[in-house]
Amino acid sequence: MAVPDDSREKRLERGLTTTRVEALSDGVFAIVLTLMVFQIRIPDVKTPQELWPHLLHQAPEFYSYAVSFVLVGIYWVAHHNMYHLVKRSTRLLLWMNLLFLMFVGFVPYSVALVGRYADVQRVMIIYGVHLMIISGLLFLQWWYVTRQKNLLVTPLNKEFVRSVDIKILQAPAVCVLAILTSFISVRGSYLLYLLTIVMYLLPSHMDKFWTEL
């Protein structure tokens, strides 16, 4: 008489875990954050006196690297916070996350474009649209896990879910504003992306939630 495989039954009851999702995501984020710095070119100068002017000329590259590094860091923190609340995954959520990571992996290319063609309006539009897609895909995952049953480690009240909804959607809203501003001033559009960083770094309702959890 066959003995039931209790461990297998328990695994099936739990469904798909998030362990490998988080491992893959952390790996992609780590690679992206590392690759961005390689988009900054080393100046090719003949004399030491030429180095400083070349470095000043590269200021947009350093700026785009710094802003994009922090923005990707914000996406990583948001992704980490979300999956800390998720106890099980689904096949659909796996593909949502893969699509999200695909666009995150494209960030070094966008950073290189902005750094080298900072005065080109179309480049600022591409950069803004790219960040909007990443934010949208992050929001899609958040919307899915909070609207499905039995995916979260603990029930969330509607007020908290709504506050996170608004927080995530702030980034694409600023991107739309930056894209519209680029038609008037490309550099003004460039500076607006700093607003996204400021908004996400300011204390919010979420910080209080994590201290009370």
The DSSP result for 3-14, as a single string, is PP-HHHHHHHHH
Strand partners of residue 89: 16
Range ranked top by mean pLDDT from 19-23, 28-32, 185-189, 195-199: 28-32
* pLDDT at 100 (0 to 100): 97
Percentages helix, strand, coil for the chain (3-state, rounded to 5) are 80, 0, 20
Residue 189 to residue 179: CA distance in whole angstroms: 7
Residue 150 to residue 159: CA distance in whole angstroms: 19
Give pLDDT tens digits for 67-117: 889 999 999 999 998 998 898 899 999 999 999 999 999 999 998 898 888
Mean model confidence pLDDT for the chain = 85
Domain ranges of the chain: 15-212
For every residue of 159-197, which 3-state class applies, written as one string? HHHHHHHHHHHHHHHHHHHHHHHHCCCHHHHHHHHHHHH
Taken in order 57, 59, 60, 61, the sign of the CA dihedral is positive
Give pLDDT tens digits for 53-71: 888 888 888 888 988 899 9
Residue 11 to residue 152: CA distance in whole angstroms: 17
Could you tell me which of 78, 197, 198, 199 has the C-alpha nearest to residue 140? 78
Check whether 3 has a pLDDT greater than 60.
Answer: no
Check whether 11 has a pLDDT greater than 80.
Answer: no
Give pLDDT tens digits for 110-123: 988 988 888 889 99
* pLDDT at 211 (0 to 100): 59
In the chain, the amino acid numbered 133 is I
Identify which has the larger pLDDT, 28 or 17.
28
C-alpha distances in angstroms, 30 versus 12, 33, 148? 31, 5, 29
pTM for the model stands at 0.85
